[in-house]
């Protein structure tokens, strides 16, 4: 339709396809295929994407041009055909005429053929800026941390400046996610500050929120603690959830995420106390939330998967109130096992550690095998069923796997980030099943190996389906970035129908970036790499809060931050974790999958600090589930001593490093391990 006097800010992301110095202007082709002519003028500002450190990385050389007359407003310097850009400008339409004037032109690198967020320094810089600012907010100038520091100063809710708010709650799952953040920052950088803070956070988490059963077999985690007011000393323990969708219940996803930080820290330290709490918590999952066929004896459906909520009085899923959460299964209760703790736990204990504790580890690994086999199969066959009549998965179910399309806010709606999270994690599972097949084949078990290759193929099929469909209906083809909540079955003739606004949330950008990076690693399909770069550009241009070394929760479709209410907070029940998970895994995936065959630096390091080598005689160091042979260990240093040549090549193939020859530091009793990896191109 032809509009009159219509004006709006418009962001366009794409590549420059032509330049017209006479106007002067350049034209951008978005992924939608639409071409926008961007007119430049004296107010057009050009910059290269900057990181949270605020460093100006604009190193675009001055062009060598001649015969140019009239003002071109830096057009010849910055507008290069084929260059990827993101432009924020003013779009106008009036009586059939239209005009788009560029105000801010963002380049993704000074070199038109490169991307700043694929450089070796990018993601480690981002994670250190975020981690430093969080610790400064909580503990000011302290550089060593204790359990008492977290007891006194840690708060879940912080305002946009990082200051505590009136609500003094300390949520367990959010603290565990902060623990994950700090542990991941240490793994990427080796900075001792982050490890000291992570250990103190873990000690407080275990002391303040852990609830063990009378026989020590089970561990449940309280929702949180709140400092009492009105002069009363001490704190109140909040065992049942206070979350708006989970009030008065024990939601499984909170228990799952209580393990996120503990598992990442265990990978680094091999601290047996952490592993014991992880094992006890998984016992709780299996005996209280799991619904295997044998659960019919308890009056449950016995149809597989995990119930989403327990009644804290009866510890059963079928007496939960209100009814919306009674005997239900959902994405969080089934799928979140994989990214929250299961991947990192399996990486830690498979292959089984050397030493006298293999039998105990074997039992835990068998349970982990059962969980990943069952949850990945259910995701493929129930959530992403081929007959779902939609581009999106179904996210909520009754006990018998009948879809629940009446749940409160969700109804028959999809969260785009969940579809992308499934694409990401099914690709991870595909890599894992390939690794198991490779190991079984080397053991002469060809038939079992073939079974796991079939599992891998099915996981990749689902991941490809969702990756492709979300690229069409879940990602913004004009501006870049990933939408939030949409109708699963859109009406009105549009491919995407928004449940509320066309907004974009930070955690969903993470799922998209990781999904497309890992799908590129699995398929070598350049379409996925384009989607990964498009999504990464939107995150790094519009979600980073450079003034406060953090990130925004939500932006408009154009990338302007939304700061009303909870969306202006620095930390809350929903804010945190995903930005660190993104930085950690985007760094690994870029080096392993993008740089491996791209001619750039394809090496990276991970840092570990083993607290004791008395019981466990080896450490597994594979960074993430990856295709067999994708990365190679090139060097290992233990307390500064290069021990690479002393290692058996068979151990390096399994990414398992024996610790019996290592000498602990006399002062700390720990061994600092620095492992360097080199990525190998995918085999055609």
Q: How many angstroms separate the CA atoms of 21 and 500, rounded?
A: 42
Please state, for a pLDDT cut of 90, what percent of the chain lies above it: 83
pLDDT for residue 1: 73
pLDDT for residue 232: 45
Peptide bond before 322: cis, by omega within 30 degrees of 0?
yes
List of E strands, 339-484: 396-398, 413-415
3-class secondary structure per residue, 219-254: EEECCEEEECCCCCCCEEEECCCCCCCCCCCEEHHH
Q: Is the pLDDT of residue 70 over 80?
A: no
Average pLDDT on 71-90 reads 93
- Which of 7-11, 220-224, 568-572 has the lowest average pLDDT? 568-572
Question: What is the greatest pairwise CA distance in the chain?
Answer: 87
pLDDT for residue 565: 83
- Nearest Cα neighbor of 598 from 676, 529, 539 is 529
pLDDT for residue 575: 72
Confidence of residue 65 (pLDDT cuts 50, 70, 90): low
- Which of 221-225, 534-538, 635-639, 648-652 has the lowest average pLDDT? 648-652
pLDDT for residue 234: 58
Compute the mean pLDDT over every residue in the chain, rounded to the nearest whole number.
93
Cβ-proximal residues to 70 (8 Å cutoff; 6+ apart), any chain: 21, 22, 24
pLDDT for residue 389: 81
Q: Is the pLDDT of residue 40 over 50?
A: yes
- 648, with CB counted inside 10 A (0-12, 13-18, 19+), is exposed
204 or 232, greater pLDDT: 204
Q: How many angstroms separate the CA atoms of 454 and 89, rounded?
A: 49
- Nearest Cα neighbor of 201 from 233, 235, 154 is 154
Q: Answer whether 306's CB lies under 8 Å from 329's CB.
A: yes
Average pLDDT on 313-318 reads 97
- The helix/strand/coil state of 539 is helix
pLDDT for residue 141: 82
Q: Which two tokens stand for residue 596?
A: 């491996």
Q: Which DSSP category does 409 fall into?
A: T
pLDDT for residue 231: 44
Kindly state the helix (H) or strand (E) to which residue 196 belongs, with its residue range.
helix 192-209
Q: Is the pLDDT of residue 206 over 60?
A: yes
Provide the pairing of β-strand 97-107 with 45-48: parallel
Q: Is the pLDDT of residue 684 over 60?
A: no
359 or 88, greater pLDDT: 88
Average pLDDT on 322-349 reads 97
- Which of 231-240, 470-479, 485-494 has the lowest average pLDDT? 231-240
pLDDT digits (tens, 9 = 90+) for 133-145: 999 989 988 889 9
Q: Is the pLDDT of residue 235 over 70?
A: no
619 strand-pairing partners? 657
Q: How many angstroms separate the CA atoms of 650 and 256, rounded?
A: 34
- Which of 223-237, 258-272, 325-339, 434-448 has the lowest average pLDDT? 223-237
Q: How many angstroms separate the CA atoms of 182 and 201, rounded?
A: 9
CA angle centred on 242, ends 237 and 243, rounded to 5°: 140
Q: Is the pLDDT of residue 379 over 90?
A: yes
pLDDT for residue 67: 59
Average pLDDT on 644-667 reads 90
Q: Is the pLDDT of residue 229 over 80?
A: no
Q: How many angstroms separate the CA atoms of 428 and 261, rounded?
A: 19
620 strand-pairing partners? 656
Provide the pairing of β-strand 97-107 with 656-658: unpaired
3-class secondary structure per residue, 447-502: HHHHHHHHHHHHHHHHHHHHHHHHHHHCECCCCCCECCEEECCCCCCCCCCECCCC
Average pLDDT on 384-412 reads 91
- Which of 221-235, 275-289, 509-523 has the lowest average pLDDT? 221-235
Q: Which two tokens stand for residue 450?
A: 């073939």
Q: Is the pLDDT of residue 372 over 90?
A: yes
DSSP for 256-292 reads HHTTHHHHHHHHHH--HHHHHHHHHHHHHIIIIIB--
Length of the chain measured in residues: 684
List of E strands, 287-362: 309-310, 328-330
Confidence of residue 637 (pLDDT cuts 50, 70, 90): very high
Helices (H), 546-611: 578-589
647 or 162, greater pLDDT: 647
CA angle centred on 24, ends 22 and 27, rounded to 5°: 110
Q: Answer whether 482's CB lies under 8 Å from 423's CB.
A: no
Q: Answer whether 259's CB lies under 8 Å from 176's CB.
A: yes
- Record the pTM: 0.96
Q: Is the pLDDT of residue 233 over 60?
A: no
- The helix/strand/coil state of 206 is helix
- 402, with CB counted inside 10 A (0-12, 13-18, 19+), is exposed
């Amino acid at each position: 339709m032809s509009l009159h006097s219509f004006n709006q800010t418009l962001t366009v992301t794409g590549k420059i396809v032509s330049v017209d110095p006479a106007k002067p202007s350049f034209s951008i082709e978005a992924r939608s295929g639409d071409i926008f002519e961007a007119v430049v003028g004296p107010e057009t500002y050009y910059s290269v994407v900057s990181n949270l450190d605020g460093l100006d990385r604009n190193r675009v050389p001055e062009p060598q041009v001649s015969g140019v007359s009239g003002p071109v407003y830096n057009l010849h310097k910055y507008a290069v055909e084929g260059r990827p850009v993101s432009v924020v400008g003013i779009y106008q339409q009036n009586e059939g005429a239209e005009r788009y004037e560029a105000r801010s032109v963002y380049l993704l690198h000074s070199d038109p053929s490169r991307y700043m967020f694929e450089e070796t320094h990018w993601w480690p810089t981002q994670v250190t800026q975020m981690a430093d600012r969080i610790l400064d907010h909580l503990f000011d100038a302290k550089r060593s941390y204790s359990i008492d520091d977290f007891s006194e100063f840690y708060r879940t809710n912080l305002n946009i400046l990082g200051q505590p708010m009136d609500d003094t709650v300390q949520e367990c799952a959010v603290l565990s996610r902060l623990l994950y953040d700090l542990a991941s920052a240490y793994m990427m950088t080796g900075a001792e500050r982050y490890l000291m803070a992570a250990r103190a956070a873990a000690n407080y988490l275990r002391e303040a929120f852990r609830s063990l059963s009378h026989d020590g077999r089970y561990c449940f985690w309280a929702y949180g603690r709140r400092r009492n007011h009105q002069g009363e000393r001490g704190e109140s323990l909040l065992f049942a959830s206070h979350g708006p969708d989970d009030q008065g219940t024990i939601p499984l996803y909170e228990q799952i995420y209580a393990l996120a930080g503990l598992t990442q820290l265990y990978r680094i330290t091999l601290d047996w106390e952490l592993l014991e709490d992880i094992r006890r918590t998984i016992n709780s999952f299996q005996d209280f939330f799991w619904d295997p066929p044998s659960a019919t004896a308890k009056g449950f459906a016995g149809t597989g998967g995990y119930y989403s909520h327990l009644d804290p009085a009866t510890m059963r899923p079928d007496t939960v109130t209100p009814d919306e959460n009674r005997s239900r299964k959902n994405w969080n209760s089934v799928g979140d096992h994989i990214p929250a703790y299961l991947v990192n736990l399996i990486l830690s204990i498979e292959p089984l550690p050397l030493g006298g504790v293999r039998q105990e580890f074997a039992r835990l690994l068998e349970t982990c095998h059962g969980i990943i086999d069952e949850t990945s199969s259910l995701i493929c066959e129930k959530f992403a069923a081929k007959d779902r009549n939609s581009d999106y998965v179904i996210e909520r179910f009754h006990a018998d796997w009948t879809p629940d399309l009446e749940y409160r806010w969700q109804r028959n709606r999809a969260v785009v980030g969940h579809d992308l999270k499934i694409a990401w994690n099914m690709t991870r599972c595909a890599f894992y099943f390939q690794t198991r097949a490779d190991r079984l084949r080397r053991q002469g078990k060809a038939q079992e190996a073939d079974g796991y290759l079939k599992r891998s193929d099915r996981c990749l099929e689902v991941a490809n389906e969702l990756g492709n469909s979300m690229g069409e209906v879940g990602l913004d083809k004009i501006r870049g970035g990933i939408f939030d909540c949409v109708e699963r079955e859109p009406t009105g003739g549009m491919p995407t129908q928004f449940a509320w606004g066309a907004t974009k949330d930070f955690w969903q950008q993470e799922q998209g970036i990781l999904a497309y990076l890992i799908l590129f690693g699995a398929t070598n399909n350049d379409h996925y790499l384009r989607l990964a770069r498009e999504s990464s550009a939107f995150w790094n241009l519009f979600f980073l809060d450079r003034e406060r070394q953090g990130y925004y929760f939500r932006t408009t479709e154009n990338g302007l931050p939304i700061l009303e209410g909870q969306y202006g907070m620095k930390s809350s029940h929903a804010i945190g974790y995903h930005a660190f998970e993104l930085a950690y895994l985007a760094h690994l995936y870029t080096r392993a999958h993008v740089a491996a065959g791209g001619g750039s630096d394809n090496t990276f390091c991970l840092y570990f600090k083993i607290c004791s080598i008395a019981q466990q005689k080896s450490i597994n160091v594979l960074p993430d589930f990856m295709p067999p042979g994708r990365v190679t260990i090139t060097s290992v240093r233990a307390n500064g001593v290069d021990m690479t040549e002393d290692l058996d090549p068979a151990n390096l193939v399994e990414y398992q490093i024996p610790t019996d020859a290592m000498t602990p530091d006399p002062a700390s009793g720990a061994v600092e391990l620095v492992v360097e990896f080199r990525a190998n191109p995918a085999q055609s």
